[in-house]
Structure 1
Amino acid sequence: MADFLDESNPCGINLLRLVSRGNAIIAELLRLSDMIPAVFKPDLKTEFNRYSDIIVDFTYFKNLESIEAKIDSTPVHRDKDDEIRDNYLDISIDFYLAFESFHKYIFDPDKKNVSLLLSLPAQRFTSDSNIDDVCNLLRSTGYSSVTNKRPVNYPEDFFKRVPINAEYLSLVIGRLRFDDVYNQLSSYPYSEYRSFAMSNQAAMLYVILYFAPDFLHNQHANMREIVDKFFSDNFVINIYMGIIVNLIEAWEPYRAAKSALNNTLETASLHLLKEGYLDEEVVLDSTYKLTNILREYPLDNLQKV
């Protein structure tokens, strides 16, 4: 690994640069996600409803003149517009610049977008800003973490907004499936520790399969192999900095993935442990089954179901 990251190795240096920039962008997006003003959150109706007549989605760019005319038509709307501008312009620009960095990272990786992130408060729109492309890439998908609303074909349709060479995807998936990328198995020789040893690799594979959804939908044999190798005793995974995914729920819409998971996990029994299902009567009627489940599966995983 040291040789790979040596300054004389352009491949390793470029890969390190890409990874570090990607992590910087993710960190900035996570930071900003905790700073969304209440007026932009539909679930906080009191604040949101107060300004809902002047805050619109990306349809603004298609009807710019009519929306601006509506705002200018009454003193009340003009006052609200001034309040939004005075109170939230800076944070809105920070969000846009983070989104623009994400766009440049994908389509123009030679741009030094990390320096942009490190100096966000001092940045403003530049002449080469391409707001239309940024909006097209990051427009709403309809997904809501508040209501757990998941649109059909989400997130694979979202990922399709970035075209990726199919052959390259196949090579990456193959490497993650068959190789020990992080050389962990030699440190964890016992089979019962395989899922722990391969957990980082498994998280990467979980994400990248959404870029090749045919695996999840139709490739039963391949998904069975993937589940047996990476998720046989670990169906709740950490994909990035504490972001947890329950595969039973995440793979519910995908026939091949769901079937492979069902072959490994007794989901018919595990549904007993889902929040809101258990009550005193169910526990008394299912004591034997619940006891067996608790013995078979790690308690930490069951707490996530």
Structure 2
Amino acid sequence: MSTLMKIEFSVPAEKADDCNAFLAPKVSHGWEEIPETEGDRMLFRIFLEDHPLGTELTRDIEARFPGCRLSHSEQESEDWAMAWKDFFNPVMCGERFEILPPWLSEDGHDGKTHIVIEPKMAFGTGHHPTTSLCLEAIGEIVQKGLVREGMRFLDLGTGSGILGIGLCKLGLKGIGLDIDPQAIACAQENLETNNVAESMRLAVGSVESLDAGHEFDVVVANILSGPLIEMAVDIVPHVRPEGVLVLSGILNEQAQAVAAAYERRGIGQPVITSQGEWAVLVWDSVRR
């Protein structure tokens, strides 16, 4: 029987938001947060299916949160696999999309565009607000007639492939890039599950791996604010004039800094929408 790695650590309660932002791009399927009865601290509990990546994550946690009382152990995976079915529920993302796990793929609501995602290590199950915000924004842009069948897209930091799959199901074709090889493997499985493998090409890499002058009608990037700011100079040239740019992975307090980095590239101001502590930035007609 295969095993999982259980990771537990705690941080002062005032650092819980920082911890959530740190874990969001690393642990797609979520984690438990449990208030500790003493000391005003928050306990975080994570289960990972891949031991090498789990070991890497423990190192990252200890480096980011010194003194976090981290521990890890093995746990049988059989019960955990069943537990997925207890809490992984369908997710509505605006008026257009519904995210479903494979065991509920036949239970979706009529009239919605269904995306079937197997919960794994790669970021993007639809449960995190940044993923939901991006899909909701895409749905609204479609409703405006700005995204149409036959257009080309770039999904930067594709993770599970969820945003690219959504665009493929709207009739677009494109490329998904991620610097994590495991994310690409996971995304390929999800493309095949959703019958869109012919519409989306995947590769390990970042925006720098694209040929100069390669423009897209739609560019989506659900990463983090720091990398998005650093990559502004590289991302903007790949959005065709009057194209669409959707950015997330951004905390509310970081949104203006990210927006300013792109405004300095001459593309105008985005519409900023929030869900909880997270924001999405949308340029629905990029000026170049």
Q: TM-score, normalised by structure 2?
A: 0.27
Q: 1 or 2, which has the higher strand percentage?
A: 2
Greater gyration radius? 1
Q: TM-score, normalised by structure 1?
A: 0.26
Q: 1 or 2, which has the higher helix percentage?
A: 1
